[in-house]
C-alpha cells in the first residue's frame, strides 16, 4: 500500500536523504563550501519537498532496495556504488530527488558567494548589462535584402 503522499518522511527516510545529499555534493575544503548535508542546507531541503515529496519518497525506496537495507548504514565505498547504480536507473523520482537537493544547495548564501555571485533575488537590484560594440553590425547592415517579397 502506498503511503499518504502528504505524510512527512520518516526518520529513517530522512537519514537516507541526508546521506545521499552528502554523496551527491560533499563538502569541499578547496572551494570552502559545505556539503548538501549541512544543517542549514538540509533543513531547507526538508522544508522544500512540497509537491516533490511523493517522488522523493519513491526514490528513497529505490535507494533502499538497491542498498539491501538502510542506505545510510553502508560503508563509503558501497554507498558510492549504490549511488552510481541509482543514477543509472534514472527516472522521474530520481530526477526529482536530485532537483530538490540541487535547488536548495545552489541558493545557500555560502555556496552562492563561493561562485562569485551575490546571494539575493534578482529584484529589485537587477544587474548591469554592457552595451557591447555595435560596430559589429556593420557587415550585416551592408548585406542586400534577404527577405522575399510575396505576390
Angle between helices 92-105 and 11-24 (to 10 degrees): 70
User: Looking at beta carbons only, is 57 or 104 nearer to other proteins?
Assistant: 104
Instruction: In whole angstroms, give the CA distance from residue 124 to residue 115.
Output: 21
Q: Widest CA span of the chain, in angstroms?
A: 75
Instruction: In whole angstroms, give the CA distance from residue 24 to residue 18.
Output: 10
Instruction: In whole angstroms, give the CA distance from residue 119 to residue 116.
Output: 9
User: Looking at beta carbons only, is 30 or 39 nearer to other proteins?
Assistant: 30
Joined grid coordinates for residue 19: 546521506
Q: Report the nearest approach of other proteins to the CB of residue 58 (Å).
A: 17
User: Looking at beta carbons only, is 10 or 48 nearer to other proteins?
Assistant: 48
Q: Report the nearest approach of other proteins to the CB of residue 138 (Å).
A: 9
User: Looking at beta carbons only, is 61 or 102 nearer to other proteins?
Assistant: 102
Joined grid coordinates for residue 5: 503522499
Of the CA atoms within 13 Å of residue 108, those in its CB half-sphere come to 22
Name the one range near other proteins by CB under 8 A: 2-10, 11-19, 26-34, 62-70: 26-34
For other proteins, the binding residues in 101-140 under the rule CB under 8 A are 102-107, 112, 115-117, 119-134, 136-137, 139-140
Cell 546571494 sits on residue:
119
Length of the chain: 151
Tell which one of 7, 78, 92, 99 touches other proteins (CB under 8 A).
99
Using CB under 8 A, list all residues that contact other proteins.
23-26, 28, 30-31, 33, 48, 50-51, 80, 83, 87, 95, 98-99, 102-107, 112, 115-117, 119-134, 136-137, 139-141, 143-151
Amino acid at each position: 500500500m502506498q503511503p499518504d503522499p502528504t505524510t512527512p518522511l520518516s526518520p529513517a527516510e530522512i537519514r537516507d536523504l541526508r546521506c545521499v545529499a552528502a554523496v551527491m555534493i560533499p563538502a569541499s575544503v578547496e572551494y570552502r563550501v559545505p556539503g548538501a548535508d549541512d544543517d542549514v542546507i538540509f533543513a531547507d531541503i526538508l522544508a522544500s519537498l512540497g509537491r516533490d515529496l511523493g517522488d522523493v519518497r519513491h526514490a528513497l525506496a529505490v535507494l533502499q532496495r538497491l542498498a539491501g537495507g538502510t542506505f545510510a548504514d553502508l560503508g563509503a565505498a558501497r554507498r558510492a556504488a549504490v549511488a552510481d547504480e541509482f543514477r543509472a536507473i534514472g527516472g522521474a523520482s530520481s530526477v526529482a530527488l536530485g532537483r530538490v537537493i540541487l535547488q536548495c544547495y545552489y541558493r545557500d548564501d555560502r555556496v552562492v558567494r563561493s561562485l562569485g555571485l551575490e546571494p539575493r533575488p534578482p529584484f529589485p537590484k537587477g544587474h548591469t548589462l554592457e552595451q557591447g560594440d555595435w560596430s559589429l553590425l556593420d557587415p550585416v547592415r551592408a548585406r542586400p535584402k534577404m527577405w522575399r517579397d510575396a505576390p
